Amino acid sequence: MNFDHFLQLFVVKEKSFFPLFIQSAENIVKASELLLEQTKEVDPDNRRMLAHRIKEHETAGDAITDKIMDVLIDAYVTPFDRDDIHNLAETMDTFLDMIRDASKKIAIYQPKDPSRKLIEIAEYINKAAVILLDITRKFDTMRKDAKELDKLCDDIKDIEHTVDDIYETYMSNLFEKEADAIELVKKKNIAQALEDISDQAKGVSSMVRSIVVKNS
């Protein structure tokens, strides 16, 4: 084996992480689209069906995360710090887990009617997921696209701030106007689960920003 071929083996091993992170982000986008659809749904059976489909994406996401860990164990050279790869994969997986948790609450609680504010939060969650996908597609050119990656991370942070404002307004109105105590608890728990997803998306973007700073 000549030296050039030896170096090529390292390059192939290094780049094998990038498509896996893209797959993970694509899976999150699909789950977030289903969650958005579920927040608009009124039929109980359709809500449960959508929750089941999101669970399938959660299972697929676990498999992608496991694959990233397998590649990490075998890799001699990694595109960025090994701990950062591990933590980013786990944080993205938690993003997906939280989407699943919110969908499960909607399917179990079956609120009486869709809320425009909760639908709006789900729309922003989907936007954050799409931005995350854009981010992962630039991992291969991280050094060249550092400024653009930083801007995309800012966009997710801005989404989290917007969702916080929507959540606070929604909760204030909920406690002021919802007379049915059971319905209040249902909607409160669903709203909290959705807001938590937005917080997690911001956590992912913060981790990406740290990686970009280290490697640019």
One DSSP character per residue, 7-50 reads HHHHHHHHHTHHHHHHHHHHHHHHHHHHHHHHHH---HHHHHHH
* DSSP H helix total and E strand total for the chain: 7, 0
pLDDT digits (tens, 9 = 90+) for 182-191: 999 999 999 9
- Report yes or no: 130 and 30 within 8 Å, Cβ to Cβ: no
pLDDT of amino acid 79: 86
Q: Are 164 and 195 a contacting pair, CB within 8 Å?
A: yes
Tokens representing 68 are 């990233």
What local confidence, expressed as pLDDT, does residue 89 receive?
97
Q: Which residue has the tokens 């701030």?
A: 161
Q: What are phi and psi of 44, to 5 degrees?
A: -60, -40
Entry pTM: 0.92
pLDDT confidence of residue 76: 80
Q: Report domain extents, the chain.
A: 3-215
DSSP 8-state secondary structure symbol assigned to residue 215: H
At residue 154, the pLDDT reads: 97
DSSP 79: S
At residue 69, φ and ψ (nearest 5 deg) are -65, -40
DSSP-assigned letters across all residues of 115-160? -HHHHHHHHHHHHHHHHHHHHHTTGGGTTTTHHHHHHHHHHHHHHH
Neighbouring CB atoms inside 10 A of 11's CB total: 11
Residue pair 68/17 in contact (Cβ under 8 Å)? The answer is: yes
Correct CATH for 3-215 of 3.40.50.300, 3.20.20.70, 1.20.58.220, 1.20.1250.20: 1.20.58.220
Inter-residue contact 130 to 29 (CB < 8 Å): yes
Q: Supply the pLDDT for residue 14.
A: 53
**What's the average pLDDT block by block, 10 residues per block, for the chain (216 residues)?**
44 71 98 98 98 98 96 85 94 98 98 94 98 96 94 98 98 94 96 98 97 90
| 37, 44, 63, 100, 108 from 112: Cα distances, Å | 16, 10, 35, 20, 12
